[in-house]
Amino acid sequence: MRVIRFSSPHGIRIGVWINNNVIDITEVCGSPLNSFLDLVFKASQAGKSVDEFLREVLEQRRGDLPTYSYRSIEKCEDNLRLLIPIIPPEVWGCGVTYRRSREARERETSVKGVYDLVYEAERPEIFFKATAHRCVGFGEEIGIRGDSKRSIPEAELTFILGFNQEIIGFTAGNDVSSSDIEGENPLYLPQAKIFDRCCALGPSILTVDEAGREPKLRVECRVFRSGKIAFEGSTSTAKMKRSIEELRYFLCRYNPVPPGSACLTGTGIVPPNDFSLRDGDIVEITIEKIGTLRNPVKQL
């Protein structure tokens, strides 16, 4: 199933998104559900998977639960607003997991060979990407650095970790990056990756029950400038060199990543070298079954 976090005149809500309907499940279990992690916890207390738990709740209570149209939440109608689907204590990123990313980065870097090496190595590239207060949700501005000449969106399938470092769901992530800073020297990677509003997540969390552990999903990225498409590209997670489990394993090895953390799995879509995001652009990332994450760009 697909779960969203949104606000309504009643406060912050958790909803199940089915077709164009969002069913508010915040009040279905004794104490209110505050987050997707809460839902995972309540389901496990009941000895059920999240989808089993939700199916049971919907069978028993669907008629009495407030229901909204997803479009009205997306458009912020009636005091409704889509929120980041989880507040991640940590966000990590994986790199060079697609051939396209390796080739584009090898072309742009001043230090030849590092991307070729990591693409072939047993150990993947995994880097620290963001904390919750650097992340934004649907409709919020993503940042591009004022000291970068080439900022790009990176559309990435993103997994969310549960209480035991297991994957509990997937969302879409935008690993907004300053590719000229990264290209100048790979040691500048933290500055190319971590800054104000450097990561967008959303719009929903697709449960692992529905997605499976190794989902093969179409990923699309579009950038709109003055109403026209300035860049578009697509890929499929089937083209990823590494498995999701391999990335999760290396991320969590000797590393106590806290529950609710997110990990972006790398991009298979890289805009051409003469493209840079600009203030006022709109970036849309669509991942099959997860939905479309849309964010305006703000030059920092």
Contacting positions for Mg ion (CB under 5 A): 154, 175, 267
Q: Is the CB of 68 or the CB of 98 nearer to Mg ion?
A: 98
Q: Is the CB of 167 or the CB of 240 nearer to ligand DO4?
A: 240
Q: Is the CB of 162 or the CB of 183 nearer to ligand DO4?
A: 183
Site string for ligand DO4, 72-101 (x = CB under 6 A): ---------------------x-xx----x
CA dihedral sign of residues 117, 277, 288, 257:
positive
C-alpha span between 171 and 71 (Å, rounded)? 18
Shortest Å, Cβ 189 to ligand DO4: 6
Site string for ligand DO4, 177-216 (x = CB under 6 A): -----x------x---------------------------
C-alpha span between 86 and 159 (Å, rounded)? 11
Whether the upstream peptide bond of residue 66 has omega within 30° of 0, thus cis, is: no
Q: Which of 24, 125, 209, 284 binds ligand DO4 (CB under 6 A)?
A: 125
> Two tokens at 41?
């916890």
Shortest Å, Cβ 232 to Mg ion: 18
Give residue for tokens 């879409």. Answer: 172
Shortest Å, Cβ 167 to ligand DO4: 18
Nearest to 182 by CA among 259, 291, 107: 107
Site string for ligand DO4, 41-60 (x = CB under 6 A): --------------------
Q: Which does 125 bind (CB under 5 to 8 A by kind): Mg ion, ligand DO4, none?
A: ligand DO4
Burial label, 179 (beta-carbon count in 10 A; 0-12, 13-18, 19+): buried
Contact between 138 and 284 under an 8 Å Cβ cutoff? The reply is no
Shortest Å, Cβ 264 to Mg ion: 6
Contact between 193 and 93 under an 8 Å Cβ cutoff? The reply is yes
129 in helix, strand or coil? strand
Q: Which does 101 bind (CB under 5 to 8 A by kind): Mg ion, ligand DO4, none?
A: ligand DO4
Using CB under 6 A as the binding criterion, the count of chain residues that bind ligand DO4 stands at: 12
Site string for ligand DO4, 245-274 (x = CB under 6 A): ---------------------xx-------
Residues 6 or more apart whose Cβ sits within 8 Å of residue 254: none
Q: What is the DSSP letter of 123?
A: S
> Two tokens at 144?
């591009």
Give residue for tokens 């990561």. Answer: 199
C-alpha span between 237 and 91 (Å, rounded)? 20
Q: Is the CB of 14 or the CB of 189 nearer to ligand DO4?
A: 189
Contact between 88 and 5 under an 8 Å Cβ cutoff? The reply is no
Shortest Å, Cβ 261 to ligand DO4: 17
Contact between 287 and 115 under an 8 Å Cβ cutoff? The reply is no
Site string for ligand DO4, 144-183 (x = CB under 6 A): ----------x--------------------x------x-
Residues in touch with ligand DO4 (CB under 6 A): 93, 95-96, 101, 105, 125, 154, 175, 182, 189, 266-267
